[in-house]
Amino acid sequence: ETGVTQTPRHLVMGMTNKKSLKCEQHLGHNAMYWYKQSAKKPLELMFVYNFKEQTENNSVPSRFSPECPNSSHLFLHLHTLQPEDSALYLCASSTPQTGVSYNEQFFGPGTRLTVL
């Protein structure tokens, strides 16, 4: 499989559940990102990992917990979510920015999350 894949594509969960979203990239990149896309809002950056180290946490509530075991895999662990957390969660990857050149991000298809 090529590109950036995300599983599951759809997820419905209750507020007391614990679930995880998975992202895998087959592009040889070393930077990975989680974004949240809500209706009528701009795409919001949540987390950034470079070479498995978290370099950005954009004031995300602790009920979202990222994990990056290696440069190809990224997880988002979810627990005690709220209905307003319902959104499309997008994963992206890139080669890390060097300060000299900028490399575009490649996105996965997203996981549509519904919190009941």
Counting DSSP H helices and E strands in the chain, the numbers are 0, 11
7 binds another protein (CB under 8 A): no
Number of residues binding to another protein, judged by CB under 8 A: 28
Tokens of 106: 């490649």
Tokens of 103: 């490399």
107 binds another protein (CB under 8 A): yes
**Separation between Cα atoms, residue 65 and residue 22, nearest integer Å:** 12
Tokens of 99: 């300060």
Rounded to a whole number of angstroms, the minimum distance from the CB of residue 25 to another protein is 12
Chosen residue from 54, 55, 70, 82 binding another protein by CB under 8 A:
55
17 binds another protein (CB under 8 A): no
50 binds another protein (CB under 8 A): yes
